[in-house]
Amino acid sequence: MTPFDYIRPATLPEAVRAGSAPGSAYLAAGTNLLDLMKGGTLRPERIIDITRLPGLDRIDWLHDGSVRIGALVRNSDLAYDDRFARTFPAVAEALLSGASAQLRNAATVGGNLMQRTRCAYFHDPASACNRRSPGSGCDAREGENRLHAVLGWSEHCIATHPSDFCVALTALDAVAETEGEHGTREIAVDALHALPGATPEQETALAPGELIVALRIPAEAARFAPRSRYLKLRERTSYAFAIVSAVAALDVQADTIRGARIALGGVAAKPWRAREAEASLIGAAATAEAFARASELALAEARPSGDNAFKIELARRIVARALALARGGTPEIMPALPASPFSTVPGADHAA
Considering its fold, how many domains does the chain have in total? Answer: 1
Instruction: List, as one string, the DSSP characters of 112-177.
Output: HHTPPP--HHHH-TTS-BTTTSTTS-BGGGGSS-TTS-SSS-BTTB------SHHHHHHHTT-EEE
Q: Considering only CA atoms, which of 81, 101, 99 is closest in space to residue 89?
A: 81
Residues pairing with 246 in the sheet: 231, 264
Burial class (CB in 10 A: 0-12, 13-18, 19+), 82: exposed
| Residue 272 covered by a domain | yes
Q: Which of 147-156, 215-224, 232-241, 244-253 has the lowest mean pLDDT?
A: 232-241
pLDDT digits (tens, 9 = 90+) for 295-317: 999 999 999 999 999 999 999 99
181 domain residue, yes or no: no
Q: Establish if 307 belongs to a structural domain.
A: yes
Structure confidence at residue 1 (pLDDT): 77
Residue 155 forms part of a structural domain = no
> What pLDDT, on a 0 to 100 scale, did the predictor assign at position 352?
34
| Cα 301 to Cα 303: distance, rounded to the nearest angstrom | 7
Mean pLDDT on 51-78: 97
Q: Kindly report the average pLDDT of the chain as a whole number.
A: 95
Mean pLDDT of 3-22: 97
For the domain that residue 260 is a member of, what is the CATH number? 3.30.390.50
| pTM of the predicted model as reported, rounded to 2 decimal places | 0.96
User: Looking at residues 162-176, what average pLDDT do you find?
Assistant: 98
Pick the more confident residue, 342 or 300: 300
Tell me whether strands 24-27 and 59-61 are parallel, antiparallel or unpaired: unpaired
Whether residue 10 lies inside any domain: the answer is: no
**Is residue 74 one of the residues assigned to a domain?**
no
Taking the C-alpha atoms of residue 223 and residue 185, their distance in angstroms, rounded to an integer, is: 26
| Alpha-carbon span 53 to 13, nearest angstrom | 10
Rounded-to-10 torsion of CA 88, 104, 316, 153: 110
Question: pLDDT above 90 covers what percent of the chain?
Answer: 92
Does 290 map to a domain?
A: yes
Domain span at 266: 223-328
Residue 229 in domain: yes
